[in-house]
Amino acid sequence: MNLGHVRRLLTLRGDDLVALGRDADARRREQVGDDVTYVVNRNINFTNVCAKSCHFCAFARGRRSEQAYLLPEGEIVRRAVEAWELGASEVCLQAGLHPDVDGMDYVRLVELIRAAAPGLHLHAFSPAEVTWGAGRAGLSVVQLLTRLRDAGLGSVPGTSAEILDDGVRRELAPGRISTAQWVEVIRGAHDLGIPTTSTMMFGHLETPEHVAAHLLLLRDLQRETGGFTEFVPLAFVHAEAPLFARRPDVRPGAESDEIRAVYATARMVLGEHIPNLQVSWVKHGVDEARDLLDWGVNDLGGTLINESISTTAGAGHGQLVTPAALRGLIEDAGRVPVERTTLYERCHTVEHPLDACEDGDFGSYVTTARDYAWSAPRR
Ligand code: SF4
C-alpha cells in the first residue's frame, strides 16, 4: 500500500467505512483469531517534573510547582513489589524529564526493581526519556540502552511518537525529540534485542496524510527490524491540554468515525507486520474500547492500577480496570479473553488478587503529588 491508498482508507465514511471495518475485522480474524489479550500491569509515573513543555501535555510540572512530585526509589520499588504480589507480570515506568535524573538513575531503578521482584517484566523509558537520560549521563543512546538491557530492562514503550512528522512535532511540542531521534532509539533498541511497542497520537493538528505517512514509517521499520510487539493508536485527550486552550485550530480529539477509520486502517496496513493492535481504555473508556474490538483490535492493553498522564489531561476513565472486568468486557463482545505477558506470551492465570480491588485503592495523582513533593529525599 502506498501513501495515497492509506490516506484514502483513513477518509472513508458512511457505507465505505462500514465495508472497511468488515475487511479489518476479517483480516484480524485471519491474523490473530478471536482472542483478545490483556496484560496485568502497573504504571509508575515516578515524577511529573519535566524540563520540557510539550503543548499537548497536562501532566508535566515545573520543579517549583506545588503539584510537582518525585517518588523516592523506595516507593517506586514498593509499588513494583505490590504489583507483583497482586498478580501483575509487568510494571511500566514512564515519567517527566527531571533535570536531576539521568540515565544511570534509570539503570539503578531497573536494578532495584529486578532485585526486589525478579519475575516482573520491566517495560520502561520512552524514546524521549532514553534520549534525555543518555544526554544527561554523557552516554550515547546505544550505550544507555545497552546498560538498561544488561540491568534487566525487558522492553521500551514506543511512546513520544505522537505524529512522526517534524513539522507537526514542532507545532505540538517545540524541543521534543525529532522523528529521527525517535527512530534512533527504536532502531537502537531493536538492534540490541530490546522489543518496543509503537504508538501514534491523533485527533489534534494532524492531517490524514500525516497519519498515513506515520503508519507506513512504522511498517517499513518493522520490515527492517521486526522489533515492534504492538501498535497502539492514542486518541488526543484535549480537555486539560494547553494546546487546545491556546489554539482554535486544534481539534478536540477525533470523532468516532475517524477513530474507527484509524483502527481499521491500522489493521489493514500494519496487521501483516505488527499483528497486535491495541485499544487504550484509559483514552477511550471501556464502552468505546469494546466497540473498537470490531474494527481490527485484538488487545485491550493493561490494568494500569495507577495512571497519571491521561488522567491529568482530563481522560476521566479512571486508573484501574481489573482483570475480571477486562475479561467480562471481552466476553460481552463475543470474543475470547486471554491474559498475556508484555511480549504476547499466553498466561494461564485466570484469577488475581487484583480482581478484588477498586479504582482509588492505590491512591491518585492528587495524593501522589501531595505525598511526594519533588523536594522529598529520593533514597
Ligand atoms: S510529554 Fe513528556 S516530555 Fe513532554 S512535557 Fe509532558 S512529560 Fe515532559
12 lines ligand 1 (CB under 6 A): no
Pocket probe for ligand 1: among 52, 98, 163, 312, the residue whose CB has the most ligand atoms within 8 Å is 52
Residue 163 grid coordinates = 505524529
Question: Does the beta carbon of 51 lie inside 6 Å of ligand 1?
Answer: no
Q: How far is the CA of 63 from the centre of ligand 1 (A)?
A: 13
- The predicted structure's pLDDT at residue 374: 54
The strand ranges marked E within 51-207 are 90-93, 121-124, 196-202
* Residue 326: Cβ-neighbour burial (10 angstroms; 0-12, 13-18, 19+): buried
Band of residue 286 on the pLDDT scale cut at 50, 70, 90: confident
Any ligand 1 atom below 6 A from CB of 182: no
Residue 373's pLDDT band (cuts 50, 70, 90) = confident
Cα–Cα distance for residue pair 213/232, rounded to 1 Å: 16
Mapped onto helix, strand or coil, the DSSP state of residue 336 is strand
Residue 376: pLDDT over 60: no
Distance 53 CA to ligand 1 centre (A): 6
Give pLDDT, residue 127.
Answer: 98
The yes-or-no verdict on residue 358 having pLDDT over 70 is yes
Can you give the pLDDT at residue 378? 45
Does 362 reside within a domain? Answer: yes
**31 within ligand 1 shell (Cβ under 6 A):** no
Q: Which of 19-28, 50-59, 143-152, 188-197 has the lowest mean pLDDT?
A: 50-59
Q: Which of 98-112, 233-247, 274-288, 306-320 has the lowest mean pLDDT?
A: 306-320
Within a domain: 110: yes
Residue 379, in any domain of the structure = no
Q: Give domain status of residue 378, yes or no.
A: no
What pLDDT sits at residue 205?
92
Residue 377 lies in a domain: no
The range of the structural domain enclosing residue 156 comes to: 3-371
Report how far residue 17's alpha carbon sits from residue 262's, in angstroms, rounded to the nearest whole number. 10
Cβ–ligand 1 distance for 96 under 6 Å, the answer yes
Q: Phi, psi (5° rounding) for residue 226?
A: 70, 20
Whether 143 maps to a domain, the answer reads yes
Number of structural domains in the chain = 1
Return the ligand 1 atom nearest residue 96 CA: 7
pLDDT of residue 379: 42
128 lines ligand 1 (CB under 6 A): yes
What pLDDT, on a 0 to 100 scale, did the predictor assign at position 352?
78
pLDDT for 254 equals: 86
The answer on pLDDT for 349 being more than 70 is: no
Establish if 191 belongs to a structural domain.
yes
Predicted TM-score of the model (pTM): 0.93
Say how many Å lie between the CA of residue 59 and the centre of ligand 1.
7
Instruction: Name the nearest CA neighbour of 28 among 274, 228, 212.
Output: 274
The number of CA neighbours under 13 Å toward the Cβ of 215 is 31
Give the integer Cα–Cα distance in Å for 38 and 46: 23
pLDDT of residue 73: 95
What CATH number does residue 344 fall under?
A: 3.20.20.70
Examine the pLDDT at 51 and tell me if it is beyond 90: yes
Higher pLDDT, 314 or 7: 7
Q: How far, in Å, is the centroid of ligand 1 from the Cα of 97?
A: 7
Ligand 1 within 6 A of CB of 69: no
Flag whether 376 is in a domain.
no
